[in-house]
Structures are given as structure tokens and as C-alpha cells.
Chains A and B, each alone.
Chain A
Amino acid sequence: MDFTVQNNKDTRSGFGEGLLEAGRRNPKVVAFCADLTGSLKMGDFAKEFPERFFQTGIAEANMIDMAAGMALSGFVPFTGTFAAFSTGRVYDQIRQSVAYSNKNVKIAASHAGVTLGEDGATHQILEDIGLMKMLPNMTVIVPCDFNQTKAATIAAAEYDGPVYLRFGRPKVPNFTPVDEKFEIGKAQMLQEGTDVTIFACGHLVWKAVQALPILKEIGINAELINIHTIKPLDVDAVLKSVAKTKCVVTAEEHQRNGGLGDSIAQVLAMNIPCPMEMVAVNDVFGQSGTPDELLKAYHLDTPDIVEAVKKVVARKH
């Protein structure tokens, strides 16, 4: 993988462009938004397809269930609000009317994690991946940059079934190939290596990319895999990599409980137990600050990944 940064863009803008493209490709794609059209970058879709855009006001429960009602009639509804209000606030609606009823609703969740920044912990949900992955029938996607979020949005629209699509607020390096097809459930190999496997998702993928040359300098040849689909997890890719490297670091902007690391740990414990370290938030809430400050404060930055790798490699021997 070429890690050249094409530009700095927010993943939510990738969603906005992907939604517009999905709407152009399929007239059944519709969108709901709970008073956050600007934040979710849904304005272009609303402008081009006004009859297919539904402003719900600040009423997320109603939004989720209306989307379910529209999905059963053959439409492909996307719902848009912050991740905090896309999950915890409407868990029962998603559980009964979307997941259990297996409706083709796409829950687009922006401003996930601490990189939402200054708004603080009320809005910085760090539990959403866990909440969503626990639901039967639910697919959970956490793309890493603008290009991938756009592609993932288009793929979600083409996939038949409930999807939770998680992305974020800040501008981050955009490095994955433009218009690379997004394969739901297929792990993305970013760098092959032999000494350790780093599994990362979302914003932490770039942080892990930045760790690679640092690790190389100290003689650690790391494999980096982007797990953009938390569920269904690409178990084959995980096992194949770990069979080679024999130790693992996971990196995510989420609670350790219920996140990517938790999913990987289950697979490893049942198949090839091995040393593992998790770069994640550990059972605390976030706080106000800039995204960069918060990533440092909660030990979700490149140096934290480097330290975790050093630790886990040492444990292997």
C-alpha cells in the first residue's frame, strides 16, 4: 500500500459524497436526518433529491422507526445523526425494528469517539461499536479515511441488511486509493510483516501507519491490517496473519470492552491464544479538548501503538 497522503479530509464528508453517489445509482435510496444535515454532510443529497430526504427534527427514535417502516416497503433508508444519538439513544428501536426485524436500514453515525473534540463526553460515544456488534443481523463498518468512507457508504447501500456505519468529525489524512471498491467483511492488508500484527480501525489506522517506520527503525517488522468491518469479522485474515506473527496489537477509538480488540481477542482465544495488547479507551469517559490532545490524553496516538507493539513483542519471547 502506498501511504502517500492525498489530502486531509473528514470521513463524514466521505459519507456525504458516498450518499449522494448511492442516491444517483439507486432511486430507492432515501435519507433521514435528525437536525444535523450540515454536520453529517447530507446537504448535497437533500438538495439533489428533496423528495427523498426527510428532515425529522430532533427525534431520533421516530427517525429510526420511520426508516424501518420505509425499508419494509422496499426503500434503502440511511439515518443520519451523531454516533451517540444513533446508538445508545435509540438502542431499543434499532434492536426491535431494525435488527430483529432485519430491515434494510443504514445507520450512519458521525462524530464518533474522542476526536469529536470540544463537545465533551456527552457526545463522544466510545461504546457504540460494542452496542451495535452485539445485535444479531447487524453489520458494523468503521472506515479509516475519506475515500474509504465514501466507498463504504456506497457498499452499504448495495448490501441488503442492517448496517451500522461509523465515522468521524475531524479532517484526517486521506490515503486509501480513490474509488477502491469496498468489500464488506474483507480485511484490508496495508503492510505485510512478520513480527507482530496490528489490527486497527477508523482514525487509528493512520496512527498505526505512522508507527510502521518507527517500528522498522528498532527492528520490528510489523504487519498492519485495517479491520474496517468489525462484524462480520474477517476471521480467516486474522488467523492467517497471527499464525505468522504470533502476537497482536489492536488499535481503536473505542472502549476496550466491546470494541475491535474484544472481537479479535475472542477469535484468538478460541483458535490461537497469543500475546495481545489493546490500544483503546479503558473504562472511562472522554472530556473536552482538541482531537489531537484527546488522542494523546487517552493513549490512542502513534507512540502508544509503538509502545504496545514493543511490549507485546517482548511478551512473545
Chain B
Amino acid sequence: MEISQLERIAKQVRRDIIRMVHGCQSGHPGGSLGATDIVTALYFDQMQINPEQFRMDGAGEDMFFLSNGHISPMFYSILAHRGYFPVSELATFRRLGTRLQGHPTTAEGLPGVRIASGSLGQGLSVAVGAAQAKRLNGDNHLVFVLMGDGEQEEGQIWEAAMYAPAKGVDNLVAIVDYNKKQIDGSTDDVMNLGDMRAKYEAFGWTVIEMNGNDMQEVVDTLNQARKGAHQGKPQLILAHTEMGMGVDFMMGTHKWHGSAPNDEQAANALSQLEETLGDY
């Protein structure tokens, strides 16, 4: 897909994020806005998927797992626009009886979601399991997983990080949304993550860095990662992103990690985000 078209989609996703979080006055806009470009590129350009006939087992298609489930508005908007469920359903986000729970879940049967996430640190392990299942099935498709950077503080991440290279799980592309912010502040203040690249490399991963908010660079990097698959090692993309990307007053701060804009702030945000595909 043309880069400009991907950018148009990403713009609508960002509008949806603001409207969804504003609509129910809860949710996590900052990280959602920051990771939008990566997941838009995955779903609209990179992954081989069958949205019309969602299969839980993902047989014969690429699979994506969202480990940091709190950025669900972004995930839901992309799934809806990609055709997994009606875009109009985005209006039900976080409301009683919705399939669009605060954090993604399979309990309500929302197409596109394969496992619950929200409690952090679990998605990489799930993705490793799914990747091994593909190997057992002789299915050459890839498994992608997006994680937060604050999430890297969970010990389980490093259990999975040790396992995947040790067992040669090379059909796996893990992406860290490296915005250097978490709910309590900057990652430097909360828990210095140190040299993330060196850490993953020391564990045996191939590490690629990219600007996760430059659509051309995102597409190029994902192309590179897909080419690098099936060569004996798992791959990690360190995606440098800006929390709150696209809305000026939400950028450069951790304060919008988990807060909803009021009416005035939402209007301001939406004035910065062109409606490209039509609002839900």
C-alpha cells in the first residue's frame, strides 16, 4: 500500500482513539497514539491475514499479539477498519456489555483478538508459543508481538527473551514501543531500562531500530524483518516513538498515558487530526 494511504489510515485511527477515549472518559490515549503507525503498517501493508474469516488458530496467516493491552483503542480501531468487525462498534468502547473491553479479551468473542492482555509481560511468551505452533504445523507465516517499553521491567519478558533464541524461534518479530515513558513518569526516572539493544543482543536476538512514527521507515523496517525471518534467530524491533504522537499537547509528557481529554481538549485534538475515512 502507498505510504500516503497508510498515513491517511493512521490519521483516522488517531481520531478514533481520541473520540473513543473521550466518549467513555477513560482509556489510554498516549501510548495508543504513539504506536498507531506501527500497527497500521502491520495490518494494512505487511501481514497476510484473513479479516473476513477470522480464525482463532491463525492457520495459514500471520498473527499479531498486543502485549500491552491498555493501548486497546488503537488496536480496536485498526481491527475495525481492516474489516474484523463493524467500525460503528467502536462507539461501544469500555461500555457495559461491549465486546470492546477496556483491555482486549476473547471472552466476548471479538474477531481479531486471540488472547486477553492487560496484565503486562505475558504477550511475548504467548507469541513464542504461537510461533512454535506454526513451526510444528509447517506454517511459514510469521508471528508479530507489540510490547510496551515500561513492560520490559517485567521479569517474564526476560524468561521469554532467553527462551526464543535458545530454541531458535525464528518466525517471530517482537516490537518494543520505545517511547521512554510509563504511567509514573519517564522510564529513566521510574526504572532506567539501560541499553535495550545490547540487552536483547546479549540474549541472542537480531535487533533492528527504527523511527516508529515515520511510516516509510516503519514499512522498510518491517520488510527487512520479514526478510530476516527463518534464519535461526528471533528479531526485535526497537521502535522509537513519541507518546501522544499527532496531538501536540499530548506529546512530550507521560501525563496522557491513562487520562481522557475533556470536551475542549478533545476538540483541540481532533482539530489536529484530519478525518480521512469517516468517523464512526
Contact = CB atoms under 8 A, between A and B. Distances in A.
Given A59-B159, A65-B122, A96-B122, A74 B59 contact: yes
B96 interface: no
Interface stretch (B112-120, B216-224, B242-250): B112-120
A73 B105 CA distance: 16
A61 B156 contact: yes
B119 A92 contact: yes
A172 to B, nearest CB: 34
Given A65-B156, A73-B58, A97-B126, A59 B163 contact: yes
A166 to B, nearest CB: 23
Contacts of B267: none
Contact of B136 (A52, A59, A72): A52
B228 interface: no
B38 interface: no
A62 B125 contact: yes
Interface stretch (A80-88, A99-107, A146-154, A184-192): A99-107
A69 B128 CA distance: 7
Contacts of B131: 69
Interface in B145-161: 155-156, 159-160
Interface residues of B, number: 36
Interface string B205-236: 00000000000000000000000000000000
A59 B162 contact: yes
Contacts of B65: 69
A68 B162 contact: no
Most B-side CB within 10 Å, residue of A54, A59, A69, A96: A69
A30 B119 contact: no
Nearest to B143: A69
A108 B169 CA distance: 25
Most B-side CB within 10 Å, residue of A54, A67, A92, A101: A101
Nearest to B67: A65
A49 to B, nearest CB: 11
A199 interface: no
B102 interface: no
Nearest to B134: A73
Contacts of A93: 122, 125, 156
B59 A73 contact: yes
Nearest to B126: A69
B4 interface: no
B59 to A, nearest CB: 7
Contacts of B155: 61
Contacts of B162: 57, 59
A62 B157 CA distance: 8
A73 B137 contact: yes
Interface of A: 30, 51-52, 54, 56-57, 59, 61-62, 64-75, 77, 92-93, 95-97, 100-103
17 contacts: A57-B162, A66-B129, A66-B132, A66-B160, A69-B127, A69-B128, A69-B129, A73-B58, A73-B130, A73-B134, A74-B57, A74-B133, A74-B137, A92-B122, A96-B118, A100-B107, A101-B106
Given A69-B127, A93-B122, 13 more contacts: A61-B121, A61-B156, A65-B160, A66-B128, A69-B126, A70-B129, A73-B129, A73-B130, A97-B115, A100-B116, A101-B105, A101-B115, A101-B116
